[in-house]
Homo-oligomer: A and B are copies of this chain.
Amino acid sequence: MAWPIAEVARMSGVTARTLRHYDEIGLLPPAWIGSNSHRYYEERQLLQLQQILVLRALGVGLAEIARIIGDQVDELESLRSHHRRLVVERDRLDALATTVSRTIADLERSRKDGTPMTSINRPENLFEGIQPADVDASLRDFPEHAEATRRATAAMTPAEIEAGQRERTARMVRLAELMAAGHPADAEPVQHMIDEEYQLLSGLRTVAVADYLAIARSCTDNEQWSAAYEAIAAGLAGYQRAAMEAYAAARLS
């Protein structure tokens, strides 16, 4: 008992184009191919198609589905990791929605009052503030770490160093957005970012709590650093310091 492609399409609710696509990527080849090169599917293929559709409805990617079908991985295990991804993505959207609604409220307020909004990233300041050199220059305040850092950066390609710099800048901008959105320094999304930073930092060098707090102080006290932060948004240096101190108090023994 074999069915042509259009029949299968009608039965399963997907288009024939999709079935051809699944054949093309090797996810679901037909049972056999007629002399006129028409695709014919049998029960086994339909069963697999149903499994594919269920997993797809659960948001699992086709590549992942292919691995599950091929029995190379455990369905339960893969569903569990997929669930984790779903929850993370949901939380991200949730935080995003919160930020957006706060932005909307701010905009409405500033339209009514004429109050200007917190301005992020005046670029002329950005230009003055974030010179690549100042990251290195700031190391002078931590001579005992300079050596470790130098060794770490020496092992990196220029491209990696570039990328690191970009990421630091982007991170500061994101932090400024959170600040502008009205999150207090100890709010969850902020602390989540600070945690990421801490993980990166502790990957680079061993960092004691006292050292970490010293770095936090430098955000406002070190001229180069605070200039870089303030160039992005007024008050950002103090905000970063407060966030780091809250992080140390809450999560570092």
- A residues whose Cβ falls under 8 Å from a Cβ of B: 1, 3, 7, 9-15, 43, 46-47, 49-50, 53-54, 57-59, 75-76, 79-80, 82-83, 86-87, 89-90, 93-94, 96-97, 99-101, 103-104, 107-108, 111, 120-124, 126-127, 130, 132, 165-167, 169-174, 177
Contact = CB atoms under 8 A, between A and B. Distances in A.
B43 A124 contact: yes
B83 A104 contact: yes
The 7 A-B residue pairs with the shortest CB-CB distance in the complex, in nearest-first order: A46-B123, A13-B170, A13-B169, A90-B93, A86-B97, A50-B121, A83-B100
State the number of copies, please: 2
Nearest to A172: B13
A166 B79 contact: no
13 contacts: A10-B132, A11-B127, A12-B173, A13-B170, A14-B170, A46-B123, A53-B121, A76-B107, A79-B100, A80-B104, A83-B97, A83-B104, A86-B100
Contact of A97 (B53, B90, B170): B90
Given A10-B130, A10-B165, A49 B107 contact: no
Nearest to A75: B107
Given A13-B173, A123-B11, A58 B96 contact: yes
A10 B100 contact: no
A97 B87 contact: yes
Nearest to A90: B93
A166 B59 contact: no
